[in-house]
């Protein structure tokens, strides 16, 4: 038996995560749902599908409690036997009655519950604007069960791929910021001029992950408090660079290899 130490999952923890970390949770959920639908034991149903059944291991969502997982679809004599209404969601699940089994019923119920407990409520907040249509499509699959787990997984993987490779960025908009920032070489602002902002990665400052310097410039330009930013050496799970926004840039500390990008001042 192999064991892993994980953190409990609750709604507050999920909502306090950066959008990038919530995307990783959504990826984990999609992959778990595919495994449940296409296991070596056939289609599996999670009869007690709650956040408490899962843990986060280094930010990756994993199923920890399988006591209420059962194999096999519900039995039926006709398609009406496969209909199940869920008053909390105003959704009626159904499926074709094939060989006295409700085909794809477990898969559809797991998708619905995965949305209720996780993905449907947390991906829209903080999503990059150009990725919103894809997030809405994913939310519809979870909320209305408009696809199967392979389709759900495909949309989720596409969403992650676009975010990781930067293809969601509109460089026609970002281009005007590219050459306007002044660069101070071999300088840093450690522990200075930090401020709090929404969806920050840092507990003490305003930090985001960016695809490149051009995206960092756009983030800083859109924030009235930001006067400069520093690209950190740390990377996130997607390989993106962490940027620290600063509300001033005076008295920098000499640090070999570090760069301060100063926002152009109006006038």
Q: pLDDT tens-digit profile of 155-166?
A: 999 999 999 999
pTM for this prediction: 0.85
Distance CA 28, CA 60 (A): 6
90 or 67, which is more confident: 67
Return the ∠ at Cα 76 (arms to 74 and 82), rounded to 5°.
Answer: 70
Q: pLDDT tens-digit profile of 7-65?
A: 999 888 888 888 999 999 999 999 999 999 999 888 898 888 889 889 999 999 999 88
Distance CA 202, CA 244 (A): 9
Distance CA 164, CA 20 (A): 10
Q: pLDDT tens-digit profile of 52-86?
A: 889 999 999 999 888 888 888 888 898 888 887 77
Q: pLDDT tens-digit profile of 211-246?
A: 989 899 989 999 999 999 998 888 999 999 999 999
Q: Which two tokens stand for residue 229?
A: 């930013």
Position 104 scores a pLDDT of 87
Distance CA 243, CA 264 (A): 18
Q: Which of 10, 48, 65, 68 is catalytic?
A: 48
What DSSP character marks residue 265?
Answer: P
Q: pLDDT tens-digit profile of 129-158?
A: 899 999 999 999 998 888 899 999 999 999
| Residue 170: active-site member | no
Q: Which two tokens stand for residue 236?
A: 């996130």
Strands (E), the chain: 7-8, 44-46, 54-57, 60-63, 69-71, 84-86, 91-93, 97-98, 101-102, 182-188, 206-210, 228-235, 241-246, 253-262
């Amino acid at each position: 038996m192999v064991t892993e130490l994980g953190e409990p999952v609750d709604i507050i923890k999920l909502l306090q995560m950066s959008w990038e970390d919530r995307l990783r949770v959504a990826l984990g959920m999609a992959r778990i749902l595919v495994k449940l639908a296409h296991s070596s034991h056939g289609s599996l149903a999670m009869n007690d599908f709650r956040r408490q059944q899962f843990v986060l291991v280094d930010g990756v969502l994993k199923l920890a409690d399988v006591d209420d997982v059962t194999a096999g679809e519900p039995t039926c004599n006709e398609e009406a036997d496969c209909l199940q209404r869920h008053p909390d969601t105003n959704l009626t699940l159904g499926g074709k009655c094939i060989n006295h089994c409700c085909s794809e019923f477990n898969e559809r119920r797991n998708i619905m519950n995965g949305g209720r407990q996780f993905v449907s409520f947390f991906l829209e907040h903080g999503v990059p604007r150009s990725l919103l249509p894809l997030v809405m499509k994913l939310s519809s699959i979870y909320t209305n069960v408009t696809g199967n787990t392979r389709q759900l997984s495909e949309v989720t993987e596409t969403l992650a791929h676009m975010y990781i490779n930067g293809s969601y960025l509109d460089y026609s908009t970002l281009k005007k910021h590219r050459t306007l920032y002044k660069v101070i070489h071999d300088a840093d602002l450690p522990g200075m001029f930090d401020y709090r902002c929404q969806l920050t990665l840092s507990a003490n400052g305003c930090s985001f992950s960016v695809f490149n310097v051009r995206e960092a410039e756009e983030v800083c330009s859109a924030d009235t408090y930001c006067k400069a930013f520093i690209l950190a050496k740390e990377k996130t799970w997607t390989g993106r660079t962490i940027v620290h926004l600063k509300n001033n840039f005076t008295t920098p500390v000499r640090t070999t290899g570090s760069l301060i990008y100063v926002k152009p001042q109006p006038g």
